[in-house]
A = this chain, B = another copy of it.
Amino acid sequence: MRNRQQDKKTQETGATDEGSARYREILNAAAVLFAERGYHGTSVRDIGERVGLLGGSLYHHIKSKEALFVKLHNSALQAAGDEIEAAIAGLSSPWARLEAASVKLAELQLDPASITMPLMNDFRQLTPELQAQLIGTRDKFEAIFDRLVGELNLPPDIDRKIYRICLLTLLNSLWTWYRPGTLTPTEIGHEVMKIFLPRS
């Protein structure tokens, strides 16, 4: 028995280097892989390889694969929420505000440089305990669009909840089919909004 005393365990808090460069590297690498291959399809060794570390060495920076995913998910949603709020800050027309928010979200989802939002939809592949850690952040994010849709003067026969879900689902799924080429992410965002804007 080596450890009569439980030794210091410097990182028992679970919080590792919140802001180190290495940690952000890992966060970015994990974001790409989770987005490309899903949670279960990505191993910690895959992530390590992308940042030049062995799988086991990652655990000096992260607490667990699950914690990494939660951190990634929550901080991405938080950042996206902030950017969207900023994008609509100066606008007053309800339709203009919704369009600006949608376009901004499209840009965020399709920007390869940003930490994208892996598995915004579809976290069915995650364990229920993991899901529980994510719904809070997600609800808060969706509340932004809930508010924006609530301000709209929509035709009375349109269900606002379904309208909002559909818009968010589409924007969050853009990256599954978008390929850079003829249209920019911004243009894609406007194109999608054409479907949701009032016609006539």
- Residue ID in chain B nearest A196 by CB atoms: B195
Taken together as a complex, chains A and B put the C-alpha atoms of A24 and B157 apart, in Å, by: 41
Q: How large is the interface on A (under 10, 10 to 19, 20 to 34, 35 or more residues)?
A: 20 to 34
Which B residues are in CB contact (< 8 Å) with A177?
165, 169
Kindly list 14 other residue pairs between chains A and B, CB separation below 8 angstroms, not including A159-B191, A169-B170: A36-B124, A40-B41, A41-B125, A122-B176, A157-B194, A158-B191, A162-B191, A166-B170, A166-B192, A169-B169, A169-B176, A170-B170, A195-B195, A199-B199
Task: Please give the residue numbers on chain A whose beta carbons come within 8 Å of chain B beta carbons, in ascending order.
Answer: 35-41, 121-122, 124-126, 155, 157-159, 162-163, 165-166, 169-170, 173, 176-177, 188, 191-192, 194-196, 198-200
Q: Do A37 and B125 have beta carbons less than 8 Å apart?
A: yes
26 contacts between A and B (CB under 8 A): A37-B124, A38-B38, A38-B40, A38-B122, A38-B124, A39-B41, A40-B125, A41-B125, A121-B173, A122-B122, A122-B176, A124-B176, A125-B125, A157-B194, A158-B195, A159-B191, A165-B177, A166-B170, A166-B192, A166-B195, A169-B173, A169-B176, A173-B173, A195-B195, A198-B199, A198-B200
Taken together as a complex, chains A and B put the C-alpha atoms of A170 and B157 apart, in Å, by: 19
Which B residues are in CB contact (< 8 Å) with A165?
177
CB distance from A186 to the nearest CB of B (A): 14
Q: Do A162 and B176 have beta carbons less than 8 Å apart?
A: no
Taken together as a complex, chains A and B put the C-alpha atoms of A194 and B37 apart, in Å, by: 34
Which B residues are in CB contact (< 8 Å) with A159?
191
Taken together as a complex, chains A and B put the C-alpha atoms of A40 and B36 apart, in Å, by: 13
Which B residues are in CB contact (< 8 Å) with A126?
41
Which B residues are in CB contact (< 8 Å) with A40?
38, 40-41, 125
Q: Do A162 and B125 have beta carbons less than 8 Å apart?
A: no
Q: Do B200 and A121 have beta carbons less than 8 Å apart?
A: no
